[in-house]
Structure 1
Amino acid sequence: MVGTRIKELRVQKGYSICELARLANVSKSYLSQIERGLHKNPSIQVLSKVGKTLGTSVEGLLKEEHSAGKDEIVLDSEWREMLVTAIKEGLRKEDFVEYRKFMKYETWRKEHKSIHEDLQK
């Protein structure tokens, strides 16, 4: 829902609902209704004002609603922050793929070590 996306971005920016409403020049009660899903089809003008205030576009507000499938994981702010930091520190996609392979190997090794130790008892 677009309201969920607005609330997520508002919280990330550290705005209260009152602050966002004031900065975007929209009604606080209307914004609250959008966030709570009571008003599911806000006008493009309102979305444009809110999006600009939150540093995104109308498409950016709607994108999450249409792109996130039921099985798709939406990253919280802590995960995003860790990934951005790692990328800024030079982590490449190839490095991440290798790390995942290593972690799978370590899990496999620990499981087999445990089985081997149980067999020796």
Structure 2
Amino acid sequence: MVGDRIKELRTNLNLTINELAHLSQVSKSYISSIERGLQKNPSIKVLKKLAVTLQVPLESIISFGKHEITLDEEWIEPLEEAIDQGLTKEEFHEFLSFFQYKRMKKIDE
């Protein structure tokens, strides 16, 4: 889980949540909710701020279950641009569902 990884990195650097919040400009309560698993989908922008402060690449704190993923700049830049232009998580999930539908339809043909 992302929260577990952030807590691990934070404690490895001997940072308190207060210190991480101050250095990253992310609220203490938000970091706490991520670490406790209450906030399961923090934004890329927040994760990037935390990654910079924790001195690790963004992809090292992003995981889905047991599978680590790698995000390079070719993925991060368009995602950030889409978010800046107002793309919501719900719209992104709808796009993924549509894309999966199109892919399955193409396989059936």
TM-based fold match above 0.5: yes
8 A contact 1:5–1:64 mirrored in 2: no
- Residues in 1 aligned to 2:45 and 2:67: alpha-carbon distance in whole angstroms: 22
What is the root-mean-square deviation in Å for CA atoms of aligned residues?
1.6
- Runs of 4 or more above 4 Å deviation: 63-66
Structure 1, 25-34 or 59-68: larger mean CA deviation: 59-68
Q: Distance in 2 between matches of 1:36 and 1:24?
A: 18
8 A Cα contact 1:51 1:58, kept in partner: yes
| Unmatched tracts of structure 2, length 5 or more | 69-109
| TM-score (ref. length: structure 2) | 0.58
How far has the Cα of 1:67 moved from its partner? 2.9
- The sequence identity of aligned pairs, in percent, is 53
Which structure's CA Rg is the greater one?
A: 1
Encode CA deviations 1:5-45: one digit per residue, 9 max, x unaligned: 00000000000000001000001000000000000000000
Distance of 1:64 and 1:11 partners within structure 2: 21
Is it true that 1:29 corresponds to 2:22 in the alignment? Answer: no
| Separation in 2, partners of 1:5, 1:65 | 12
Distance 2:7 2:65 in 1: 13
1:46 aligns with 2:58: no
**Runs of 5+ unmatched residues, structure 1:** 69-121
Instruction: State the partner residue of 1:2.
Output: 2
